[in-house]
Amino acid sequence: MFKAIFATFANCFKIPELKSRIIFTVLVLAVCRMVALIPIPGLDGAALAQYFEQNASKTGGLLGMYSLFTGGAMENCAIGSLGIMPYISATIIIQLLSAVVPQLAKMVREEGGRTKIIQYGRYLTVLLCLGQGFFMALSWENPEKVFGGNFPGGLVLIQNLWWYRLQTVLVLTTGTLLLMWLGEQITDRGIGNGVSLVITIGILARLPQALQGAWLMFFPGKGAANSFNPFFAIALLLLLLAVVAAVIAVTQAQRKIPVQYAQRAVGRKVYAGGTSFMPLRVSYAGVMPIIFAQAILMFPETIFLQASRLTEKNMEGLSKVFSALYVALQRGTLIYITIEALMIIFFTYFWVATQFNEIQIADDLKKYGGYIPGVRPGQATSDFLHRAMSRITLAGALFLAAIAIVPTLMYNWWGVPFAVGQFFGGTSLLITVGVLLDTMRQMESHLLMRHYDGFLKKGRIKGRF
């Protein structure tokens, strides 16, 4: 099997166009990694990087997740510390607004309207970068309050704070816009989805750290007891293979709804009817519900902690209540895991409800003479699609909830560090697997066009369900 895979990769470099696209993509991703390593002038990035290294097992919350998406840029105080997330957030906001604002929904369907939507997303990205960059600059001024560590002398090396803030905001905004532009260049001239690859390369950049953490789990080094357990190591390897296989299966899983097209005449042309199918993806929402749930759950913990500190002197009883709520909502507790799973299920249905428009699909089918066998066109088709999507969305939501809590359970039950456990589930595994599958599909399309064998025996990657 591995011989066939290596032969397929070798065939990729026999096609000039595909070879140039792959090389271009690799070079651009190398530039993205440089953006995550070059520090911002006037900041002591080494001190923050040392803090993250010493507290790797404690940074599994919002800071750890944000650092993961930026490829470690935030902990290095690098120019790409905001990462590509402001652009992702702006795109999501525009998509959600397009589903509820009639003017934007009409613009999406018009010719050239999608170009305007993309332009609005870029403008919103700049605004988000300015706001997030300013708050990040403030957090670096007071690292003890944000990160909880001890930073002698602080991180800021510039005496004029307003000049530091202005410079930092401009550098962070420029870094995000550079990453956004590089991602678009990959999409146009490279292979795969550029923005997704920028996120993925940042996640994979943490793989050496995860491997080091896994090695230290079994071989702690001098002065520590050797806790190597071969059965535990085999169990972790089998769990990793099982989770990856499950993610691949569910990511590609789809329900095929048969669609029959009647013969129709347009002017003097007569179009013959035919049979096709409509694929309904099980994992329609992708990784977005997990990101929403984990990001929102970080705010109550921070709010209750600050409220407990503010009321500690004057209202001791209320302070104890806030402190108890803070402890109950900490990452890893049973209440936290339960709320996180329920929020993932909710956001999965919310995302499908806003992005999957069964009424428009039914109208388009009726307009082009298509119908689902056994279902009347119009409202009946819309109701059928709604019921079918609701059933398969439940399966996808339960799977996302299970995958999201795997790293937390591994940390609670087996003491596996978050740096290691994040590759056994959660957002990192879902993003990595999904992006790699999408890139492989594009490479296979180039191979099949030139009559080369693809990565799979049948020559294409497709869903099993």
Residues 312-355: tens digit of each pLDDT = 777 777 878 888 887 777 777 888 889 888 988 998 998 888 77
464: helix, coil or strand?
A: coil
Domain-located, residue 173: yes
Residue given tokens 């600059």 in the structure block = 137
Reported as type and span, the H/E element at residue 223 is: none
- Structural domain contains residue 122: yes
Contacts of residue 234, defined as CB under 8 A and 6 or more positions apart, other chains included, come to none
CB 28 within 8 A of CB 185: yes
Average pLDDT of 184-192? 89
User: Averaged over 43-56, what is the pLDDT?
Assistant: 70
pLDDT at residue 464 greater than cutoff 60: no
More confident residue, 29 or 89: 29
Domain for residue 321, yes or no? no
Which of 127, 62, 34 has the alpha carbon at shortest distance from 89?
A: 127
Instruction: Read off the DSSP letter of residue 277.
Output: E
Residue % of the chain over a pLDDT of 90? 9
Round the average pLDDT of the chain to a whole number and report it: 80
Rounded-to-integer distance, Cα 400 and Cα 285, Å:
10
Residues composing the chain: 465
393-426: per-residue pLDDT in tens? 999 899 988 888 888 888 778 777 777 777 887 7
Which of 114-118, 199-203, 322-326, 451-455 has the least mean pLDDT? Answer: 451-455
Q: Which of 36-40, 58-62, 154-158 has the lowest mean pLDDT?
A: 58-62
Tokens of 234: 């085999």
The number of distinct structural domains making up the chain is 1
- Angle at alpha carbon of residue 438, lines to 436 and 441, rounded to 5°: 110
Helix axes 161-189, 16-35, angle to 10 degrees: 170
| Residue 262 covered by a domain | no
Residue 369 lies in a domain: no
Torsion of CA 79, 80, 86, 88, to 10 degrees: 160
Tokens of 428: 């990192």
Q: Is residue 427 part of a domain?
A: no
Amino acid at 64: G
Show the DSSP H helices in 329-378 as ranges. 334-355, 358-367
In a domain, 312, yes or no: no
Predicted pLDDT of residue 264: 64
DSSP state, residue 70: T
pLDDT for the residue 216: 76
Residue 280 in any domain: the answer is: no
| Residues spanned by the domain of 155 | 1-205
**E-strand stretches of 200-308:** 254-261, 264-266, 269-271, 274-281
* Tokens coding 62: 């919002």
CB atoms within 10 A of CB 24: 16
Confidence of residue 459 (pLDDT cuts 50, 70, 90): very low
Give the CATH number of the domain where residue 116 resides. 1.10.3370.10
Confidence tier at 458 by pLDDT (50, 70, 90): very low
Task: Report the alpha-carbon distance of residue 164 to residue 141 in Å, rounded.
Answer: 10
Q: Express each pLDDT in 245-295 by its tens digit.
A: 888 888 888 888 888 877 666 666 666 667 888 888 888 888 778 877 877
Lowest-confidence region among 361-365, 389-393, 409-413? 409-413
128 pLDDT above the threshold of 50: yes
pLDDT at 345: 92
Are the CB atoms for 21 and 190 separated by under 8 Å? yes
Distance of CA 42 to the CA centre of its chain: 31
| 93-109 pLDDT per residue, tens | 887 787 778 887 777 77
- What is the C-alpha to C-alpha distance for residues 441 and 449, in angstroms, rounded to an integer? 12
**Residue 182 burial (CB < 10 Å; 0-12/13-18/19+)?**
buried
